[in-house]
Structure 1
Amino acid sequence: MPFVIYADFEAFLNPIESCSNDPSQPSTINIQKHEVYSFGYYIKCSYDNRLSKYETYSGSNCAQVFMNRLCEDVKTIVKKNSFQKCPVPLSDEDKIKISNSNICYICETEVNEDLFYNFDWHTGSFRGVAHQVCSSKYRTPRHIPIFLHNLSHYDAHFIVHALNFDDDKVEVIPQNKERYISFSKQLTINNQPVSLRFVDSLKFLSCSLDQLAKNLNDDQFTELKRNYPNNEDFSRLRRKGIYPYEFMCNSDCLKHPSLPDQHQF
């Protein structure tokens, strides 16, 4: 599928009241419980920005609402893209590309007499010349990747508990008993399987989002600029904010009219 999804969660840090620790005995004390209360995800379409969208939510049953809304959006995506578009007429540029090309753009080997014009299944636009056998075997993957930064260490703990909402299977690639490299939730749409594949972007972008953002210029934030064209809003969202994690312990804190004291950050 020509779609990718980026998601993130926020959680309250609820303090846990417990008895005092016995200093003579080794032990671990839980002092806070992470209670997820908000999420945001962005669906990006590779060929039509009108199909891209941002979804956010704050409230109770956050992980379950996340899965419900995500599944509804994915079902809409698949149904809208389940019909093959007719090939569009070749442009002059396409014709020049064909006349100058003797390499299959799929397998990258020489094309002889079995040259075949390959068109995009979703847009109808010309992709390139290919062997007929390569073109017939070329398939759009039936999964949609969902990237969360530091998924394995954090967000996965919220999501996995919300995956068993139906009888469709869940596949997991574990790192150990508590952490997952990746996991997938299968959906059945139009009697066809479609997989939601959750992936930890930290596994191949091994630094913080703040540092990754600093590596980009303003003009490279095309999606952020498109959704927030106001320069002041863009500048504010462009940099990492300061979040009072210790202060945010319940939903009443969201209604606080001003910033908390410095020691609560």
Structure 2
Amino acid sequence: MTPVHQRLSNETFFHMVEKMLTVLFVFASNGSGWILQKILWVDLKFAKFSPIRGSSFIELPLCLRNQRYLLNIRNHDDFECFNYCYTAWYHELHGPNLADPSRDIRTQLTNPATYRKPEATKPRGEFSMPMGFHDIHQFEIMNDVQVNVFQFSKGDLLPMYLSNNRNIEPTIDLLLLFNEDVHHYVLINNLIKLVCTVKEKQFTNSLRLCRNCFAFSHSEEQHQVHDDACRNHAPATIKMPSDDKNSFRFKNFKARWFAPFTIYFDFESFLMPVSSCPANPDASSTEVIEQHIPSGFALTLIENGFSTPKEFVIDSSKNCMTNFIKKLHEMAREVYYSKRRFPIYLGQQVPNRNSVVDCWICEEPFGPEDTKVLDHCHHRGDFLGFAHEKCNWIRRTINFTPVIGRNIANYDLHHVCLALREIEPSTTINIIPSTDEKYI
């Protein structure tokens, strides 16, 4: 087929292209032609952004207020609580002591003026105060420390910021308090004691604590093994369920019913040598040296509640696989009709309906409006108990017969598939492989 532009003259073709480009240029210059006449209304919404950062003073919760391992510096007139905590930690670790021994030491340590003294060691670097989480990493690098921040909320302790510089030994642990738009840092002098207090655990000097999940270890070796595995995960804390949600009840009552009949089988095979040509050494190939030939089977039918088999068959003939499939069909038909021998309860004496308090299936008590339904076994006719109408409807006799074979997950299944395909070519076989290799 000849293109359109080759069937037209060059002059006509270029004229069409120029006209289309002109129309496009005019439209782009003038726009859509719509004109704004007036604005009916403007709806603007504002939301105040309040990043999590320490600011002014907040009192500790009552349960932690008198704990000596927490230092809450009372900075009412500035936002330097983070820097004060660093200075207090530094002098606690390296000295000298900033408090005057002749006066009340605790009062001096909670006074921000103590950390404004000329001899007080200030942190390196200039950071916007109050300190935000996004600045802590740079603070750690400049001051060669590890900073971790925790939050106390609803009676529990939660990790909020954990340092990535875990190889640095000096560690500052801070507790972040919050009240509406105000946040405040508190120095934690002993994190293990704080966690023991919150978690109601007995404190001992041998305890080691994982800051990532608050798990305790009783030796340095255990702690190191746990820490190496735990640090690869996000910070978390173990929260136990409340008393009204700390148990589970079994609800899949239809799965409680036993199988009325079960069929078991096993195969035996010969390993017959196979003659073949030598494989090509220059190419990848598989050489077959033996073949499994079924030599016999054992098949048994077990009825629930009986110690002796209902039927037992052994066959070691040449056509054992054909006989196996046929016998399996016979047993399946027998089981199918046997499970429906007693669709209606005909027999034995039952307890007084009014004396029965609980449903035998769900084990829940009968309500005043519940109907007590007599439940019985359809394949033996035995009385089972009184049940809720819904429970009786859910608990049904199993409508299939389990067939269990020894070594069926390996090669014996191959014999069954080949026999089924030969005897009943239209049979569909569905297999759930454990691995691709076994399936292939």
Task: State the TM-score, normalized to the length of structure 1.
Answer: 0.57
Q: Cα offset for 1:86?
A: 3.2
Equivalent-residue separation in structure 2 for 1:61 and 1:46 (angstroms) = 31
Q: Cα offset for 1:109?
A: 2.5
Q: Are 2:339 and 2:378, in contact at CA under 8 Å, matched by a contact in 1?
A: no
Equivalent-residue separation in structure 2 for 1:45 and 1:21 (angstroms) = 52
Q: Does 1:36 pair with 2:291?
A: no
Q: Which structure 2 residues correspond to residues 72-87 of structure 1 after superposition, within 5 A?
A: 72-84=330-342, 86-87=345-346
Deviates more, 1:19-28 or 1:39-48: 19-28
Q: Are 1:98 and 1:129, in contact at CA under 8 Å, matched by a contact in 2?
A: no
Q: Are 1:104 and 1:131, in contact at CA under 8 Å, matched by a contact in 2?
A: yes
Q: Cα offset for 1:70?
A: 0.9
The one-character-per-residue Cα deviations of 1:112-143 (angstroms, maximum 9, x if unpaired) are 23222211112221112210121133211211
Q: Cα offset for 1:21?
A: 5.0
1:9 match: 267
Structure 1 residue ranges without an equivalent (≥5): 181-265
1:102 match: 357
Q: Does 1:157 pair with 2:157?
A: no
Per the alignment, do residues 119 and 102 of structure 1 end up closer, same or farther by CA in structure 2, a change over 3 Å counting? Answer: same
Equivalent-residue separation in structure 2 for 1:23 and 1:166 (angstroms) = 39
Which SS does the other structure have where 1:135 is aligned? helix
Per the alignment, do residues 46 and 6 of structure 1 end up closer, same or farther by CA in structure 2, a change over 3 Å counting? Answer: same
The one-character-per-residue Cα deviations of 1:178-200 (angstroms, maximum 9, x if unpaired) are 646xxxxxxxxxxxxxxxxxxxx
Q: 2:277 aligns with which of 19, 44, 55?
A: 19
Aligned length: 176
Question: Which is strand-richer, 1 or 2?
Answer: 1
Structure 2 residue ranges without an equivalent (≥5): 1-258
Q: Are 1:12 and 1:34, in contact at CA under 8 Å, matched by a contact in 2?
A: yes
Q: Are 1:98 and 1:128, in contact at CA under 8 Å, matched by a contact in 2?
A: no
The one-character-per-residue Cα deviations of 1:146-168 (angstroms, maximum 9, x if unpaired) are 11122121111000122241645
Per the alignment, do residues 68 and 104 of structure 1 end up closer, same or farther by CA in structure 2, a change over 3 Å counting? Answer: same
Per the alignment, do residues 50 and 79 of structure 1 end up closer, same or farther by CA in structure 2, a change over 3 Å counting? Answer: farther
Task: State the TM-score, normalized to the length of structure 2.
Answer: 0.36
Q: Are 1:5 and 1:42, in contact at CA under 8 Å, matched by a contact in 2?
A: yes
Per the alignment, do residues 15 and 51 of structure 1 end up closer, same or farther by CA in structure 2, a change over 3 Å counting? Answer: closer
Q: Are 1:87 and 1:126, in contact at CA under 8 Å, matched by a contact in 2?
A: no
Deviates more, 1:1-10 or 1:128-137: 128-137
Q: Which structure 2 residues correspond to residues 27-176 of structure 1 after superposition, within 5 A?
A: 27-47=285-305, 52-84=310-342, 86-90=345-349, 95=351, 99=355, 101-112=356-367, 113-164=370-421, 165=424, 167=426, 169-176=428-435
Q: CA RMSD in A?
A: 2.9
Equivalent-residue separation in structure 2 for 1:168 and 1:14 (angstroms) = 29
Among all aligned residue pairs of Structure 1 and Structure 2, give the percentage whose two residues are the same amino acid: 28
1:199 match: none
